[in-house]
Every structure is written in structure tokens, then in C-alpha cells.
Amino acid sequence: MMITLSMIVKDEEKYLRDCLNSVADVVDEIVIVDTGSTDNTIEIAKDFGAKIYYFEWIQDFSAARNFALSKSTGDWILYMDADERLEKSSIDEIIELTSSLEKKAYLCKIICPIQNSNIPEVIKYVRLFKNSTEIRFTGSLHEQITPSLDMNGYKILHSSVEIFHLGYNVSTEEMNKKYERNLIHLNDELSNRFDPYLYFKLCETYAGLGDVTNALKHYTILTQVAEAPSIYKAHAYKYLAYYEMENNNYIRALEYTLTGLSFDKSIPLLNIAASKIYLHNNDYLNAFNYSMIALETNRFDENKLFETYIEDEEIFLVAFTSAALAFNRDMYNYVYKKLQNYPMNIINDRRFVNLTFALFNDLQVEDSLIKSADSIVKQCNLNFILNLLKNYIDVETKLNILKRLEDRYEEEYSLLISFGKNLYEMKRYSEAAEKFDKALMKYMPEPSDLFLVISCNMFAGNFTKISHLIRLAENQYKSHPEIIIKLNELKVKLAAVNYKEDLNA
């Protein structure tokens, strides 16, 4: 069977050669429709023996695509953009899929690397279909072929064909130009006809531009559109949930997250959002369970038309943290065993995993891990390690690790408080007070920590400092009567201590 690569291009000299190289061993005909290039695009196309046609741009992608189809003579059509590359391993599959003349079309995996992210977005679009004069693209922007295929009785099937789309792996400036261009077309088209797919793209475009006000407005409207597919609504709730999380409104965030999951339980970002919210709410069992669901759903599913995936490392860290805060060895070791089935580089530094495993199970920590703790423990998982150290039995090892961590995170409030607490438990009050002093230069502690700091200074004999702390606390917690009562009790005790000192003097 003859396969035609059908393309529309404009000023694509940066991308075109690699695109055409990627399909050279599978297509029999290359049809390129140029809409006004002023660079070397045409010369590159000629190098590959392409049939070149010209089409005056009329702000309509479907019109240009359909013109390209009218010039394509192959039995099958593969359509791509210049900034796309066919994965070499997909060539044999394409040859096999196009071995008949049945009215079929195939969904292909479009893998979209994202700027400043290690995890791509994966979308499934029909890119390969049996050629027919009856098949036409529709939509001036985000053109679609599926409606025409459905109308003409085509079977739309899944495939494993992979196409890498580089258009999102560009600078923020370039991406914003695309979004601005698309926004104009989307609003124009939606003013003439409402289409849930286009409306979803409008929401994504506002989100991509960072226009939070319009993104929130339109995603909220989308959740109420009866004819919108469930997957669109689920992703709308995902955006709303993450917005509320960023603004520390965890009650509303959880509502949006669970509503989104009611439409689609398999969205990794919603499951990890639920896990983080429950973690914030100290519901460690639910946090752990949702992290495990996130891990299971963070895999390509051929039945899903699109999905944004997340790094497995992020999921494992949330799961480990949930287990650590619950101090549940069964949960922790379950995650640890799961991790063994993943590539070594899933968590960038396996020394981190070995360190946490030893701490959680009260095992002896290797000297090499103690000495390199400052390089092993990153900012993003510091609090996780501190929680593990809280319950670790070997006091000397614990202090040695804290010392190493202080070399790197000497200004980190949570580390200083943790270090101070451990020294306090060892009755090394003066040293503990020094750590607490450094921490107080950053933040006023939580009430429970505040009274510990005051107690520490009392044992250390720093009575002047205690008076200063009480004044600070009275100002900070003046709207909390239960704390003020305790502070007044402390003032009475402190006055009694000062009175005795005066007598002894």
C-alpha cells in the first residue's frame, strides 16, 4: 500500500529536515503545502523529493489541510507537522496497519516535551487513516479529522505509533505568541458556534498564558456544560483544585479534587493532589492510598485521549512522607518494595532511599551515608528526613546527621527546631537554646514549640530571654486566650524565680 505524508508548512526550516528524515523509510509520497514561507523551507522539501504546492493563507487550518489532502494520492494518509518526529520503532507498525484497504483510522501517541519539565504531555490523535475524497478536516483552528471519519463509517482504533511534538518545548516568549494567536482564532470560532472541544482549548490557552482570572472563569463554566465530555470536566476541576491549593484553601481544593475524580479516577495529577491535601490535613492513610493510586495511574493508557503525567519521584516522596508521618513501617516498606521494581534513576540518588530505609527501620546507618547526608538530602525532602529522625533510636547517629544537614541548611527553620528538640531531649539545654535562637530569627514558632523553647531557656538559666519571648508571644497570639492564660502562668513562675534570685543576691 502507498502511504502519503500530508503536511502544511510555513517558515519551518528549523524543523522540517528532521521531520522528513524521520519518515523517509515509511512514506512513498510527500505532499507539502506551503502557506507563505520566506526562509529555506521549500529548498529542504525539494531535497526529499516532495510534491510542493502553494496555498494562500486564509486563517483556516482546515482549508489548508484539505487542500493538501486533495493533492495526496496514497492509499493511506499520515499527517504531521514540521515540528514533529516519527519514532523509528513505529515504522514497522505503520507498515502493518496500512496493509489493508479497510476504512480504518488510527489514534497515535503524540508525545509533547514541555519546557523545564522532565515529563511530557501525552495526547492521542488520529494521524493515520485510509485515504478517501470524502474525508475532510473541520475547524479553522485545532482542526479535527474525527467528525468526518465518524460520519463516513470509519473504525477508529488505537495504535502504539509514537510521534514526538516539539512545539511546546520552546521558550516562554515563543509559547505565549502561539497562545495569543490561538486565542484570537478560538474566540472568533466560538462566537460562531459552541464546541466543547474548542471551549476546552480556550480554557487551556488562558491557563497557558497565565491569565488566571479568565482560566478560572472558563474552567468553571466548562464544569457546567452538559455536553462536555467527562474528561474535559475532570481536567477543569484539576485546574480549579490546584489553584485553591496554591492559595492554601485546602477545603475547597479537596472538594474540587474529589469532584474531578468522580468524572475520571485515573488522572495522576488529581490523585496526587488528593494525596497532598490529605497529607496537609494529617490524614496519612488517605494520603498514602491516593499516592498509590497516583503511582498506578501515572502510566500511559491507550484508552485515554490525553493526559499530563508527573515524575514518579514526586509520587514516591509523598508516599514515603505519608508513611513516615504515620510512622507505619508496613506502609513504608510496601513503597520501598515497589520502588525496587523501578529503574535506578526514578529517584535520582539511591543513597537517599538507603538512608530513609535505615532510619525508618531503626537500622545502623552507614558512615558514608552520614558523611554525605548534606548532599543526599535535597530541600524538597528535608522535612521528610526530619520526620524520620524524630523517631530514630540511635541518638548519636541522629545528631551527626543533623550536624551534616546544618552545614547545608543552616538557615532552615524546620532543621533548627528539630536540632534544638533533639538536644533538649538529651538535656543539652544551652546548645538547644542556641539552635532555637537561630530559628526564632526566621519565624515565631507554633505554640507547642514556643513553650518548649521557653522551657529550654528556663533550664539553661536564660531568664531575660524568657521575658523577651513571652512579650513576643503575647503580641503574636493575643487573639488566642488559651495561650495567653499559659503565658500569664509562666510570668508568675518567672517572677517567683526572679524574686528568689534577688533574695539570694
For the stretch 121-177, pLDDT in tens is 778 889 999 999 999 998 877 788 999 999 999 999 989 899 999 887 778 888 898
Domain for residue 66, yes or no? yes
Backbone angles phi, psi at 340, to 5 degrees: -65, -20
Q: Which residues of the chain have pLDDT under 70?
A: 115-119, 300-308, 343-349, 496-505
State residue 260's pLDDT score.
94
Domain annotation covers residue 361: no
Is 316 within a domain?
no
Cell of 502: 534577688
* The last residue of a domain, from among 282, 300, 318: 300
Residues 18 and 155 grouped into a single domain: yes
Q: Which of 284, 300, 316 is the last residue of a domain?
A: 300
Give the integer Cα–Cα distance in Å for 326 and 284. Answer: 6
> Which of 134, 104, 237, 119 lies closest to 168 in space, CA to CA?
119
| CB atoms closer than 10 angstroms to residue 214 | 15
The secondary structure element, H or E, covering residue 78 is strand 76-79
Whether the full predicted model's pTM is greater than 0.75, yes or no, is no
* pLDDT computed for residue 499 by the predictor: 41
Give the model's pLDDT for residue 139: 81
Q: Over the chain, what is the mean pLDDT?
A: 88
* 17 neighbors 42 (Cβ within 8 angstroms): no
Cβ–Cβ under 8 Å, residues 405 and 437: no
Helix (H) or strand (E) holding 31: strand 29-34
Residue 60 CA to residue 57 CA, distance in Å, equals 7
Provide the 8-state DSSP code for 59: S
Query: Same structural domain for residues 95 and 220?
Result: no
Asked if residue 387 is part of any domain, the answer here is no
Q: Quick one: pLDDT at residue 496?
A: 64
Residue 477 near residue 447, CB atoms below 8 Å: yes
One domain for residues 90 and 196: no
Domain span including residue 85 = 3-106+128-159
**Contact in structure between 283 and 289 (CB atoms under 8 Å):** no
Task: Let me know whether 178 and 147 are in one domain.
Answer: no
**What DSSP state is assigned to residue 138?**
B
Give the domain CATH number at 283: 1.25.40.10
Q: Spell out the residues 6+ positions from residue 181 whose beta carbon is closer than 8 angstroms to its own.
A: none
Same domain, 47 and 189: no
Tens of pLDDT along 313-332? Answer: 788 888 988 888 888 889 98
Q: What is the DSSP letter of 144?
A: B
Residue 86 lies in a domain: yes
| Residues 218 and 145 occupy one common structural domain | no
Contact 110, 165 (CB under 8 A): yes
Is the domain of 189 the same as that of 99?
no
For cell 458556534, the residue is: 193
